[in-house]
A and B are shown apart, each in its own frame.
Chain A
Amino acid sequence: MNGKDLMVGMNFVDEKFIQEAETKQIKKSRPFFVSKYIGVAACFVLLIGTVIGISFLKETAPPLTQPPGPIEMVPEESDAFLLDMDLIHNNTINGIGENDVGYDPDVYDVRSWKAADISEHYGKELQPAYVPPGLTASSYNEHAEPVYTKDGAIVSDLITLGFYTGFYEDGSPELFEETGYVKGISIQAVKVGELATCLYLEPETNRQTTDIGGTDVTFGVQHISGNVPELYTAEFRSGGIRYLVVGWQIQQEEVLKVVASIIRGDANISIIQ
């Protein structure tokens, strides 16, 4: 069976469904203010009921010897988080600028963090829940070099995570001969300090953001001519951490899924084209 068979097979659908789709309208949900006030009214009734109930219990029921158990939460049916590619606002960029903040060794100290130090500092694992298939985490992901003042105040906690198709012996990501570019994703995160800079062609006031699960994300795309692939970026702040995600030679959908997985904390994400 193929798509054509299914389209033709639809010819034999019951007439009641055909009629229904021609004549019925989708029931609209209540206007916001109505549902809001119904909600308020329901809470009020519940509150009054609870007060009356408690008063009644105090008068009639024997004292409780056991505290009531926790309310059992029934998780809702888990559905994939859907992202519509048509709703993504792309801003044109002209590459990525280096984080060129210099730290004078007479004034600052560079320390060394291992994976446990990074997790402790950020209060979470920075590895995204979703990593595109075929990409492997860099061995450098478990290491960071934060910068401190001489009196111990942190001024940069920049972490860079890399996920690429392959690595050379020294741990650096492999370059593709045809393009001279790596293939994969890099994620920079900071609470304090500076990220690398996306070189947007439009001024900040003209840039558009996209709402991903309640977080404003600025997407960037660099259209490079010839054999050089497009470059995708995403900048956002989530949980007090600023992120820059960069996709090299991979689909923008994959960058989007990584971004959504960082924001949501899970990998159950689907893209609608």
Chain B
Amino acid sequence: MEDQEIVQLFWERSEAAIKETEIKYGARLHQLAMKILNSRLDAEESVNDTFLETWNTIPPKKPDYFFAYIAKICRYLSFGKLDWKNAKKRSAELVALTSEMELCIPDPSSEIDEDRTGEEIGQLVNQFLSSLTEEKRLIFMRRYWYTDSVRSISERYGIGESKVKTTLFRARNELKEFLRKEGVTV
């Protein structure tokens, strides 16, 4: 079923909307939640909450990119469930990703930006993503949004792992410079 047809089902308040969403995107959402939570049970709960949140927000919303819309909800809810204190024990990949993100911050110890909201940070990242080449943006998003491993990105795009790492390295440096210019640190 096409995405717009599924969205139409939500608008019609048809319960088939959730069933069709699960058939088409359930596995992908589960995979995304698993990579963040590394727990089958928690991931399952996250996906179910995603369906519920989608049901509650469509209508009034009519997303242009349906998968992106529900994936965004799923990621948001999964991070909400994540116990950061125990994340190290549960997902080494997520810890590695967080450390990589840390490298992008000009001065992580600075307390000046502590009151920046997630939405404000997202806006900054949006501006940064717009400035990247398409190739760099795709690789960056797969790594830091979809939390894919370097190997998985390499296989997805048919490029070498070294190229993925090099691209990420450069993108991180560019993000650091971007954040510095945006006054993220002193």
List residues of chain A with CB under 8 Å of any chain B CB.
1-22, 24-28, 79, 82, 84, 86-87, 270, 272
Contact = CB atoms under 8 A, between A and B. Distances in A.
Interface in B54-71: 63-65, 67-69, 71
5 nearest CB pairs, A to B? A12-B122, A9-B121, A3-B102, A21-B141, A18-B68
Nearest to B77: A11
Interface of B: 63-65, 67-69, 71-72, 75-76, 79, 84, 97-105, 108, 110, 113-114, 116, 118-126, 129, 134-135, 137-139, 141-142, 144-146, 157-159, 161-162, 165-166, 169-170, 184
Q: Which of B64, B99, B139, B145 has the most CB of A within 10 A?
A: B145
Contacts of B68: 15-16, 18-19, 22
Given A12-B121, A17-B126, A17-B141, A4 B114 contact: no
7 contacts: A8-B121, A11-B79, A12-B118, A15-B68, A15-B69, A18-B141, A21-B141
Contact of A11 (B63, B76, B146, B165): B76
Contact of B118 (A9, A24, A82, A87): A9
Given A15-B68, A28-B158, A272-B166, A3 B122 contact: no
A10 to B, nearest CB: 5
B71 A22 contact: yes
B98 A20 contact: no
Main secondary structure of the interface of B (DSSP, over half): helix
Contact of A1 (B63, B110, B166): B110
Nearest to B150: A86
Contact of B122 (A13, A27, A272): A13
Contacts of B110: 1
A15 B101 CA distance: 20
A19 B25 CA distance: 13
B144 A7 contact: yes
Contacts of A28: 158
Nearest to A16: B65
A1 B120 CA distance: 12
A22 B28 CA distance: 10
Contact of A8 (B63, B72, B79): B79
B15 to A, nearest CB: 25
Contact of A4 (B84, B103, B145): B84
A9 B118 CA distance: 4
Given A1-B105, A3-B105, A18-B68, A10 B137 contact: no
B138 A6 contact: no
Nearest to B114: A1
A7 B98 contact: yes
A9 B76 CA distance: 9
Contact of B67 (A2, A22, A24, A26): A22
A81 to B, nearest CB: 11
A12 B119 contact: yes
A176 to B, nearest CB: 30
A28 B157 CA distance: 9
B125 A4 contact: no
A23 to B, nearest CB: 8
A1 B113 contact: yes
B138 A26 contact: yes
A87 B122 CA distance: 34
A8 B75 CA distance: 9
